Structure formats: structure tokens, C-alpha cells
Structure 1
């Protein structure tokens, strides 16, 4: 498949792991945005994400590098780097090299996940990762839901899709009957694209005869940029979900999906139950049906929209444009084009 015309280096927060994957002392290798990276957790439990190569002579810190206290130690010559990517020790010199720095990324641990802030120009974060509970303004907390990791998660690597496809799905009322085989059509009650964090809500109206009783249900979504979405579903199966799509290179992305299922009344089990797993599997199955479409989709620009689709798709695409580089300039001195190979 040819690369999408949408830039694969949008600005924003992107999930690179679940937090339980990076234990104290671990050095975790990964590749995102065409860059080799490492994530590591210090002795105090704080996490850092770096470009993978030592600034000394270019050793890959994920192959033999190790954590000592609050620093990451290069396997080649023992140079030590702190969480900010600063050299703090050269074991055979009396002073560190204060002039060199490994590119480090702003990191947030939230919603069982590890998020990094990526911006091609090296700018600081200007919005936050929403909380899958607190951001919806109700009284529910994580204690009201079964723990999702790892039993209620999905992880698909290097699929040929773009993060914006997932966001566009959020305003696409027409796909429900055809992709998910549902007997209802959602009615959108909120489209708010006024800032970098957007809101999309809808309610569900069942066709006549489908349900014996009226069911008041719906979905509320908070989209923090293109890489981070949290949803609250209510009325049928109480759940929260978190789809996250992170570009790997110019063509592919990793997809993660985390599902919190509301506990059955009186159940305070520390682990997810058979009921929780069954409900989560159903929700993941529905998300997989979307993935099957996205992974084989060609971005249509301009799209052939129907009258009812026009407002939602037009507003979302105009909102999404703010997260793409505004020109081809490279202002981050640590950044080199992916075509030049590895970066350090």
C-alpha cells in the first residue's frame, strides 16, 4: 500500500506501552515515528523515553544498556544519562559531557498506559492526556471497574492505517449497521471541535421491536489530539474504552485498545472475572471489525459525503489539521529525516 497523504508525524500524545510492561530497571526497545527508542524505569519508579542511541559513539541503549539508580548506562563505555537525556557521568573522566544530550520525550503514565508527547518541532505539550474516569465528571473510579490489563486489551502491530481514521469513525453514524451489524442508529448529541481536545457524544435509539423496554444508552468520547481517545458507554454494558493508534513509520501504526468493564454488583474481586472477560471480548470484537476496514482503507480527499455526513466529517477534518506540521521546516536540532537512517 502507498503511504497515506496524511502526515505520519502528527503532534500529540501517543501510547507506546502499557505501564506494566516497563518494570523497575527494565530497558524496553521500540520504534515509533521512524525512530528507534527506549523506555526505562528508574529505581524510584520514574519512567523515561529516549531516542535509542548513545550520543558518545552511537551504541544502541536497548541492547545491553542497564539502569543504575536514576540513570541509564550505555553498554559500550559506561556513560550514564539521566531522565532528561543529560550525560551525568563518564566513568574514566572527572567531568561529564555537559554539551551532549539524548533526545528525551515528555512522558505521562495514565489509564494503565505510557504516553509520550511527540512534536516534530520539539515544542512542549499544550494539552493533557484525559483521565478515563475523572475527565467525564462523574463519581466513577477505577475501583468500580475490573482491571483491564492484560486480559481486556488488544494489541496489533504495524498495520497500514493512520490515527485519523479512528477519529473519523467517531462521527460516522452510518457504519454501525454495516460494520457492527447493530439494530440501532446512533443520534449525535454533541460535536465540539473548538480546541485540541474535542468531544463527541451520541445516544442510541433502538428500532421498534428490538428491545422489550426502552433503553437509555449512549457513548461519550474525549479526543486528545489524534493519538488518544477515551470513551464512556452507559445504559447497556457499563464500560470505558481507550483506543490508541501510534505511527511506527511512514506507512504503518501500532493499535492498542484497553477496555474497562463495570463490576457486577457486590463484586470486589482483584482480578477480572469470567463475566468481565466475556463483555470485554465482545467490545474488542467490535473494535476489530473497525480495524479490518481501517487497515485496508485508502484516505479519500475530498470524500464523497452524503448530506447527513457532511457536518461531522468536515468539522473533524478541519480540527485534525492543527496537529500536522505546518511546513517542511525542521527546527528540532536532534531531528533528522527518517530516510537518513537512525537518529541519535
Structure 2
């Protein structure tokens, strides 16, 4: 991939793990946004994500650090750090070091996932991470679906914005996913940090049918650049979550999840119904993998050579995406620092 002229440190909610990957007492190492981090789960079940290095002498807390009740203990000298990143105990001193603090990140667990809030300006979250069930307002819960099926691809050369732009790219469905006709978008709402895109689509039939006669489609909710959730209607009941998280200045981790709805009535052969659901979920994941193959070799085209029918959607989503870059222009952290220096 040609490195995009976009910052790999956008603001928003981003997935760093699945909830079931970090049990009580676990300490997990990770790297995102060019920062070494650790995630650890306290005895109470509360999860903390913080920068990885002890403020004492710089030991990496992910290599030998241990959870002691509600704190994380450094493997080097036993200093203990709480869920706010503050030192609460130096075992060979009477008082902790109140002057130093490890950077921690706001965390939510939702969609069986762990999301952190990232903002290089240190602002508090100004929108919610989308919920795959509650945010569609139809009363459905995880109990109405088979277990979540997952895809994980690490350190791919791609930018999160590519995935979000895919959401308004109606033409690619026919040529990448072999839909019989090009879908029709019925909603583009990019007024707020959480945006909405709806479109009519079918994966069956032939190119002789009219889009007006199609009785199926997709509703999508985009929570910034990091998380998108979708709900399908008029076809096999499925919901998906895509989550793209920058690792460093050129790569991102990709996670994709799909839920397949359980039958509303009892079926004669539950095992066969579950197997069919697993097959359909695997097909949804396969189609997403087709997109990944393109994104990971893509060049960011700016300005793009858009067809007239593409202009409205791509213009709207690129303008919306600028909300999540601290300089409002998509520039890198270095660009932002240079502008601040020039203004001072």
C-alpha cells in the first residue's frame, strides 16, 4: 500500500481485543497508535488499558506484571498502579509516588469487544461506540442469534478510512461481491460523529431485475472511523461489526464479526440449522475478506476521479471523516505539531 496522506492517529473508539481474550487476572500486551500498551482485568472484572511502561524505571508491565486485586504490580520493584494509572504502593516506602501517572484510556466493553477511546489531544469521549443490537432499536439481543463468528487479520497496510468509504461505494458490490445488480442507497446521514447509511441490495437473481423490486437491504451505523455495525433485512438475518485499529504509522489490525439469527420457530433439526448458520456466517466473512485484499493494496486517491453518481456519497463521507483528525484536515500528528509551532 502507498502510505496515505492521512493521520494514523485519528480520534474515536477502536477495538483492541475481544472481551473473552482477557480473563480476570490476565495481563495482555498490545501495540496501537504507536504506543506499547497493556490491558489487565482486576479481581472485580473491571478492565484497564494503559501505556505499558512503569514510571519508576521503565519496566514493561506486560512482561511479568501481575494483577493484585484491583491494581497492577510491576515485576521489577513491586510498585503498584491502580485503574487510573496512579501509583498507590511502593512496598519499601511509607508513601506512594503521587507525582507520576501512567496514561490510561477510556474503555467500554460492548459487542463482546474491548474498545478504547483514542485522542492525541486528550479530550474525553464525545460520542458512544455503537451497539450491534441496542442501536437498531428493534428489541433484538444476542440471545436471538447464534454465537459470534470472527475474523482477525493483524498488521495490514491499510487505513481505517478505506473501510468506512467502502460503505458508500455502491459500485463495488457488483464487481467484488458479484451481486446481480448495483445497490441503491436510500440514506446518507453524516451530520454527527455517529453516521448512518442505508441501501437496498440483493445477492440473488439476475441483472434483469429492477432495484425497485428488490425487497432486501442493509442498515449501517458508523461510530467514527473505528467501528461500523450493520443489520440486514429481507434476507438471512445477519448483523456484522467491522473494527479497524491503527497499529503504527503504516499498519492496522482488522477485526470482523458476524451474527446469524436463530430461527424464530422451533426447527426439527437444530444441529443442521446451526451448521447452516455457520456456513452463511463464513460466507459473509469470505466476502469481507475480498474487500480486505483490495484495501491492503490500495492507494489513497485525493482527489479521486469519481463518476457523477459517486460524487454525493464520497464527498459526504470524506467531509465527515475530517471530524476525527485533530487538525480537521486529515494530517498527521507531525503536521499538527508543525501548525501549532507556526502559530506560537
TM over 0.5: yes
8 Å CA contact retained: 1:29, 1:38: yes
Q: Does residue 1:182 correspond to 2:179, yes or no?
A: yes
Deviates most, 133-142 or 26-35: 133-142
Q: Give 3-state SS (helix, strand or coil) of 1:40's partner.
A: strand
- Tell me, yes or no, if the aligned pair for 1:245 and 1:253 is still in contact at 8 Å: yes
Cα distance, 1:184 vs. partner?
A: 2.4
Distance 1:225 1:244 in 2: 10
C-alpha deviation, 1:142, in angstroms: 1.0
Residue aligning to 1:92: 92
- Structure 2 CA distance for aligned equivalents of residues 207 and 163 of structure 1: 33
Q: CA deviation at 1:3?
A: 2.3
- Residue 264 of structure 1 deviates from its aligned partner by 2.2
Residue number in structure 1 paired with 2:331: none
User: What residue is the counterpart of 1:280 in the other structure?
Assistant: 281
Indicate the residue corresponding to 1:134 in structure 2.
134
Q: Distance in 2 between matches of 1:222 and 1:207?
A: 29
Looking at structure 1, the residues matched to 249 and 215 of structure 2 have their Cα atoms a distance apart, in angstroms, of 42
Instruction: Please list every run of at least 4 consecutive aligned residues from structure 1 whose deviation after the TM superposition is greater than 4 angstroms.
Output: 205-211, 267-270
Residue matched to 2:330: none
CA–CA separation in structure 2 for the residues paired with 1:266 and 1:159 = 42
Secondary structure of 2:201's counterpart equals strand
1:195 aligns with 2:192: yes
Distance 1:267 1:287, change over 3 A: farther
**Corresponding residue of 1:173:** 170
Q: Tell me, what secondary structure is at the counterpart of 2:135?
A: helix
What is the match of residue 301 of structure 1? 302
What is the alpha-carbon distance in structure 1 between the residues aligned to residue 266 and residue 151 of structure 2? 24
13-22 or 180-189, larger mean C-alpha shift: 180-189
For structure 1, list consecutive stretches of 5 or more residues without a partner in the other structure: 331-344
Give the structure 1 partner of residue 122 of structure 2. 122
- More off after superposition, 178-187 vs 280-289: 178-187
Question: Shift of the alpha carbon at 1:307?
Answer: 0.3
CA deviation profile, 1:254-306 (whole Å, cap 9, x unmatched):
00001010012346979x93122101100000000000000000000000000
Q: Does 1:329 align with 2:333?
A: no
Q: Which residue of 2 aligns with 1:112?
A: 112
The residue number in structure 2 matching 1:232 is 231
Task: Output one character per residue of 1:16-58: Cα deviation in whole Å (capped at 9) or x when no partner.
Answer: 0000001000000110001100000000000000100000000
**CA–CA distance in 2 between the matches of 1:305 and 1:147?**
40
Shift of 1:182: 1.2
Report SS of the residue matched to 1:185: coil
Q: Secondary structure at the match of 1:278?
A: helix
Post-superposition shift, 1:4? 1.5
Specify the alignment match of 1:9 in structure 2: 9
Rounded to whole Å, the distance in 2 between the matches of 1:4 and 1:111 is 30
Q: CA deviation at 1:204?
A: 2.0
Retained in 2: the 8 A contact 1:215–1:236? no
* Partner Cα distance (1:68, 1:129) in 2: 30
Counting helix residues as a fraction of each chain, which structure ranks higher? 2
Cross-structure match for 2:341: none
1:186–1:202 CA contact under 8 A, matched in 2: yes
Aligned alpha-carbon RMSD (Å) = 1.8
Alignment: residue pair count:
324
- Once the two structures are TM-superposed, the CA of residue 209 in structure 1 deviates from its matched residue by 5.7
Distance 1:267 1:122, change over 3 A: farther
Q: How far has the Cα of 1:329 moved from its partner?
A: 3.2
Cα distance in 1, alignment partners of residues 49 and 316 from structure 2:
34
CA distance in 1, matches of 2:266, 2:82: 43
Q: CA deviation at 1:215?
A: 5.1
User: What is the CA–CA distance in structure 2 between the aligned matches of 1:207 and 1:185, rounded to whole Å?
Assistant: 11
Q: Deviations over 1:194-223 (max 9, x none)?
A: 011100000126646679xx6511100000
CA–CA separation in structure 1 for the residues paired with 2:261 and 2:193: 29
Q: Give the Å deviation of 1:186.
A: 1.0
> Can you list the C-alpha shifts for 1:83-117, whole angstroms capped at 9, x where unaligned?
11010100001111111100000000000000000
